[in-house]
Amino acid sequence: MSFRPNQFRALREPGEYREGRWRRFEPPAPVAWTLCGRQVWLRPGLTFTPYANPTPCNAHCSFCSEELLRVDASRLTAKTLIGDFDRYFDGLERCWAELAGFEAGLSLSGLEATSDAGWLLRLLGLVQRHGALFPSRVLYTNGSGLVNDARLIPALRGAGFTGVELSRAHFDPKRNHLVMRFARGEAIREAGAFGEVVTRVLEAGLPLKLVCIVNRQGVSSLAGVERYVDEARALGVRRVVFRALSELGSLYGDNRTARWISTHQVPLAGVLESIFPAEGAPRTGWRFVGVTSGYYYSNELYERDGVEVVFESASYVAHEEAVRGEVFQKLVFHSTGELGGDWVPGSRHIGRYLTP
Angle CA(168)–CA(121)–CA(80) in degrees, nearest 5?
70
Q: What is the pLDDT of residue 8?
A: 47
Q: How far apart are CA 340 and CA 212, in angstroms?
A: 29
Predicted confidence (pLDDT) per residue in 282-330, tens digit: 999 999 998 887 767 788 899 999 999 999 987 666 666 666 778 998 9
Q: What is the pLDDT of residue 166?
A: 98
How far lies 230's CA from each of 233, 306, 349, in Å? 5, 10, 45
Residue segments in the chain with a per-residue pLDDT below the cut of 70: 1-25, 77, 295, 315-323, 356
Torsion of CA 76, 81, 85, 90, to 10 degrees: -10
Q: What is the pLDDT of residue 316?
A: 67
Q: What is the pLDDT of residue 7?
A: 47
Residue 243 forms beta bridges with which residues?
Answer: 213, 312
Q: What is the pLDDT of residue 292?
A: 80
Q: What is the DSSP string of 287-337?
A: EEEEEEE-SSEEEEEEEETTEEEEEEEEBHHHHHHHHTSSEEEEEEE-TTS
Q: How far apart are CA 27 and CA 294, in angstroms?
A: 9
Report the top-level CATH class of 8-352.
alpha beta
Q: How far apart are CA 128 and CA 126, in angstroms?
A: 5
- For residue 148, count CB atoms less than 10 angstroms from its CB and return exposed for 0-12, middle for 13-18, buried for 19 or more: middle
Q: Identify the three-state secondary structure at position 48.
A: strand
Using left for φ > 0, alpha for ψ between -120 and 50, and beta otherwise, residue 37 falls in left
Q: What is the pLDDT of residue 3?
A: 40
Q: How far apart are CA 300 and CA 58, in angstroms?
A: 32
Q: Identify the three-state secondary structure at position 208.
A: strand
Residue 208 forms beta bridges with which residues?
Answer: 164
Q: What is the pLDDT of residue 2?
A: 42
